[in-house]
Structure 1
Amino acid sequence: MGNFGGHTLPGSFFIIFALWYFVRLFQLYYSSRQRNARFTSRIMMTCPCLCGRFKDLPVEAFVKIFLISIGFGLEIYTGMSHGKFVAVGNGQHATMFFFFGLTGVVDILQYYRAPMPPDTDYISYVIALTIEGILFKFHLHGRTELDVLVHTFLLYVIFIGVISVLVEMRYRHNILAPLARTYFLLLQGTWFWQIAFILFNPIEGASPWKQDDHQHMMIATLYFTWHCGVNFVLVLLIGAVIACCYGRGNGGHREEDEMSMKRLIHTGANGQTLVSLNDESDSDVEFQKPVTK
């Protein structure tokens, strides 16, 4: 849809999923550090907020397919006229939705251990982003200079996103790789919203953007850099909040561990440092042995 809603709808989807990924990635990372385990990134995240057997189901994939189906259906419906599909632009948007929906199908197949090559979920994500980039690259013929500019920024974000996914697929244990992939997903979403306000501002009385004015093109460029900066700060804030939550949750455990060590390690009558090893299953038995220095 070449209108305000046609840009804010996919933008909203990107923002929702990006925020979800940020929260879950930071949770996995700090949880791994707590357990002294190795962090490993993945495309599909589980939903720990659910209970029972639903906790580990691929809920994210089902939600993704549901939301993208809505976008796909709206693009097809609004592109119909007298029983015929006439809006090629809607067809391009619908194709974009289809390939992102395909990533949800792959996530479900992998969850149920379908016979697929390793990292198929990453490859499907790369394909979806690449198709999106190709569609938008040839979506700009005959457009105004400002229209071309704002969509060109979107192309940059898409193809850098493709690179970040490939890097993450190679370096699965580095938290920066999935954070980069999700950052560019978020940047896509916020910039889709900005494009909607630049090209199809719904606010009555607002001054329209001049499509071939160099001054307005410079302002649009400035807005894009602000989106980059604000989104980066948002990522830092999300990480800081989750880090504080995990740190506060472990404060009591650290104090308890220190008290336990003080009870276990004490000084004997002859000045030697002794370690008491208490067996909880048999509290009557206590062993003491000197610690060699």
Structure 2
Amino acid sequence: MGNFKGHALPGSFFLLFGIWWSVKYPMRYLCKKNKNVCYVASMSVHRRIDIIEGIVKAIFALIGFLFYYHVHGREMLDIHVHTLLLVAVFGGSISIFLEVFLRGNIVLELLRTSLCILQGSWFWQIGFILYPPNGRTQWQLDSRDNMMFVTMCYCWHYMVALLIMAISYAIVSWVIHTKLKRIDPLEMGLLKSSDQAQETEEEL
């Protein structure tokens, strides 16, 4: 990861997954409350997605151990930006651990989602700080003023992550409630029957 692209690539990966989760979990939560308007995919598709997401969740912990040893012997600002990254990584790991015991908890899922988005955007920020593209001015890595500014930037990144989640939740909620208003009584009855059939399949 000793260049800008080495930080931008994993940053894009975590950003995409975080944005995907910011849509998926609100949709699943709201669909449970409004089963009659949600067409749920087959169980096999859900299992494949869960396997992929399980791998991503495991990466959280691995990256944490990687960066714990990645910062030894580096400049002060370099250590600081990676330490802030570890806050997001280990926060996500703790959330994943708690989800083992509290499956389907929307609060933990949204917490993990926000930390995943934060991790992705912060990877990009680290790339801009340590390896400025296009020959831009290098940051002073031993400046305490820069450390304070970077800490403030980290808080801004998390606020943006929360804003993205709020927008996603609002859009998903609006779509579901819009569909609910358009369903006629006959279609509502068919959907109820479909829901009952799906619940029976899950019990089996």
Q: TM-score, normalised by structure 2?
A: 0.80
Q: Does residue 1:245 correspond to 2:154, yes or no?
A: no
Using the aligned pairs only, state the percent identity: 35
* Shift of residue 191, structure 1, vs aligned partner: 0.3
Greater C-alpha Rg: 1
* Shift of residue 130, structure 1, vs aligned partner: 2.5
* Shift of residue 252, structure 1, vs aligned partner: 2.8
**Partner residue, 2:93:** 162
1:107-186 equivalent positions in 2, closer than 5 A = 125-126=57-58, 128-186=59-117
Amino acid at match of 1:162: S
Q: Name the SS for the 2:23 alignment partner.
A: helix
* Shift of residue 217, structure 1, vs aligned partner: 1.2
* Shift of residue 58, structure 1, vs aligned partner: 2.0
Q: TM-score, normalised by structure 1?
A: 0.57
CA distance in 2, matches of 1:163, 1:61: 19
Q: Contact 2:25 / 2:110 at 8 angstroms: preserved in 1? A: yes
Q: Name the SS for the 1:172 alignment partner.
A: coil
Report the CA distance shift for 1:57/1:129 in structure 2 as closer, same or farther (over 3 A). closer
Normalized per residue, which structure has more strand? 1
* Shift of residue 4, structure 1, vs aligned partner: 0.1
| Gapped regions of structure 2 (runs ≥ 5) | 186-204
**Partner residue, 2:10:** 10
1:190-209 equivalent positions in 2, closer than 5 A = 190-204=121-135, 206-209=136-139
Tell me the C-alpha RMSD between the 2 structures. Answer: 2.5
* Shift of residue 243, structure 1, vs aligned partner: 0.3
Amino acid at match of 2:33: R
Report the CA distance shift for 1:59/1:133 in structure 2 as closer, same or farther (over 3 A). closer
| Gapped regions of structure 1 (runs ≥ 5) | 37-46, 65-102, 105-123, 258-293
**Partner residue, 1:268:** none
**Partner residue, 1:58:** 48
Q: Name the SS for the 1:222 alignment partner.
A: helix
CA distance in 1, matches of 2:26, 2:8: 27
CA distance in 1, matches of 2:6, 2:51: 23
Amino acid at match of 1:58: R
Residue deviations 1:110-144, cap 9 Å, x none?
xxxxxxxxxxxxxx935x33332121111111100
Q: Does residue 1:29 correspond to 2:29, yes or no?
A: yes
Report the CA distance shift for 1:202/1:16 in structure 2 as closer, same or farther (over 3 A). same
CA distance in 2, matches of 1:150, 1:56: 36
CA distance in 2, matches of 1:162, 1:53: 26
Normalized per residue, which structure has more helix? 2
Report the CA distance shift for 1:150/1:56 in structure 2 as closer, same or farther (over 3 A). closer
CA distance in 2, matches of 1:53, 1:161: 26
Q: Which runs of 4+ in 1 moved over 6 A?
A: none
Q: Tell me how many residue pairs correspond in the alignment.
A: 182
- Higher relative CO (Cα under 8 Å, sequence separation at least 6) belongs to 2
Amino acid at match of 2:142: D
CA distance in 1, matches of 2:24, 2:96: 17
